[in-house]
Amino acid sequence: MRNIKLIIEYDGKDFNGWQKQRDKLNIQGEIERAIESVTGEKVDLIASGRTDAGVNAICQIANFKIEKDFPIEKIPYALNSQLKKSIRVKSAVEVDERFHSRYNCKKKTYEYTINNSEQGTAIYRNMQYHHSIKLDETKMNEGIKYLIGEHDFKSFKASRNKQ
């Protein structure tokens, strides 16, 4: 059994998030479909984390296991030929069989951008929040001190999540 790690980039605008959902377009399902199409094997693609509907990723890590001796260096080309242009497999490497994208994840970075111009942007409109009213940078700088550092966000988790 070979364990393959992928680095994936996607524009989530047209998707209902990462996780497979019946009858809804999702990133995980699209990539699993492409893997099966290329390798002939049905796989479970494991991501380092899930994204919600409309969310983009520039370095999503995921892994899957296959039996077939498929040339690793050809995986990104093969998968990308089967995927929508809004999903790109940037690289593929074979990793230790114990590697698990979610459990071996050490860090996640989330970036939120506010476009504070009067008219906004056509090109980045789906990747930025547009706020045309002038922001008070002094007040924002005063408030930022409450966000710096490490914080426990457990209270924001769904009640069914026990971790």
pLDDT tens-digit series, residues 47-105: 998 888 888 888 999 999 999 888 999 999 999 999 999 999 999 999 999 999 999 99
Q: 11-15: long-range contacts (C-beta < 8 A, 24 or more apart)?
A: 11/56, 11/86, 11/87, 11/126, 12/51, 12/52, 12/53, 12/54, 12/55, 12/56, 12/57, 12/86, 13/54, 13/56, 13/86, 13/126, 14/84, 14/86, 15/53, 15/54, 15/86
Which of these is catalytic: 14, 44, 52, 136? 52
What confidence score (pLDDT) does residue 80 get? Answer: 97
Residue holding tokens 């710096």? 148
Q: List the domains of the chain with CATH numbers.
A: 2-95 (3.30.70.580), 110-151 (no CATH)
Mean pLDDT of 6-10: 96
Q: pLDDT for 112-153, tens place per residue?
A: 889 999 999 998 888 889 999 999 999 999 998 988 888 887
Residue 38 binned pLDDT confidence (cut-offs 50, 70, 90): very high
**Catalytic annotation on 23?**
no
